[in-house]
Amino acid sequence: MNRSGLFWTQLRALVWKDLQIERHTKQSIGIMLMFAIVAVVTFNFALENNLGAVREVAGGLLWVTILLAGTLGLNRSFASELENRPIDAMLIAPMDRSTMFMGKVISVSLFTLAMELILIPVFIAISNKPFYRPEVLLLITLGTIGYVAAGVLVSSMAVQTRANYVLVPVLLLPLSLPVVLAAATGVAQYMGLNKPPFADVSATFALVIAYDLLMLAAGLFTYNYVVEE
């Protein structure tokens, strides 16, 4: 098998492995979804069923929920690599570390997007805001990919330490602030009755895409150092 063929086989294998674990345990999506629903209900009660207030801050609330639920998903995904240390068997396989990074980003992104697929209709129901707009869905997807890429990098570093479950949120939340702020601002701009002209939101899209590319590039080029010794 040539190098390119092996890369795709390995990448598929890594994603397939995480999907199989999720199929058997239903833990990543389950935990994220449970947390997200509890968070939404709590926000709703905290705002005392004030529909106006919920509508005003719906975009921000959505991202706070994604951020915290995503951290749980990342922790769960890396926990399976530590129990019995299968990560060591992966590290001695003839595989580029960048493939491992990409595999984890794809699978955790899929789990987070699956959670959002259920979460977004809930937000539409409680806020009556147009979260279904394609631009909003695109922003959420792009923001999720950037956040997960940063999360995989941070989690991979943190798993080598004893305080890994504490370190992930402590390091990840500040690191992901640029993409979350940009994506939340962008989503808020689309919450009005009329769509804003693209020129008004193009900078937001550019920032989110730039963050995604930066985190993906950082992972691809530095993952070798992150997971080794």
Partner 1 sequence: MIQIKGLTKQYGLTTVLRGVNLHVREGEFVTLVGSNGAGKSTLLRIVATLLKPSGGEVTIGGWPLPSHAHNVRRHIGLVSHHALLYGDMTAAENLMFFARLYGIDNREEVVSTALKRVGLTARRRDAVRTFSRGMVQRLTIARATLHEPDVLLLDEPFTGLDQDASALLNRLLLREHEIGRTILLITHDLIRGISLSDRVAILNRGKIVHTVTRDDISATEFVTLYQQVVHGDHVAELPG
Of 16-24, 131-139, 169-177, 188-196: span binding partner 1 (CB under 8 A): 16-24
**Counting contacts by CB under 8 A, is residue 162 touching partner 1?**
no
**Counting contacts by CB under 8 A, is residue 221 touching partner 1?**
no
**Counting contacts by CB under 8 A, is residue 5 touching partner 1?**
yes
Amino acid at 144: T
**Counting contacts by CB under 8 A, is residue 92 touching partner 1?**
yes
**Counting contacts by CB under 8 A, is residue 21 touching partner 1?**
yes
**Counting contacts by CB under 8 A, is residue 225 touching partner 1?**
no
* Helix ranges restricted to H, the chain: 3-25, 28-46, 51-82, 86-91, 97-127, 134-158, 164-175, 177-189, 198-227
Query: What part of residues 67-86 is at the interface with partner 1 (CB under 8 A)?
Result: 80, 83-86
CA count, 13 A, side-chain hemisphere, 24: 6
Of 21-29, 34-42, 116-124, 129-137: span binding partner 1 (CB under 8 A): 21-29
Q: Which of 4, 89, 194, 197 is close enough to bind partner 1 by CB under 8 A?
A: 89
**Counting contacts by CB under 8 A, is residue 42 touching partner 1?**
no
Alpha-carbon dihedral sign for residues 142, 177, 158, 115: negative
CA count, 13 A, side-chain hemisphere, 83: 7
Q: Are 145 and 110 in contact (CB under 8 A)?
A: no
Other beta carbons within 10 Å of 68: 15
Q: Which residues bind partner 1 (CB under 8 A)?
A: 1, 5-6, 9-10, 12-13, 16-17, 20-21, 24-25, 80, 83-86, 88-95, 228-229
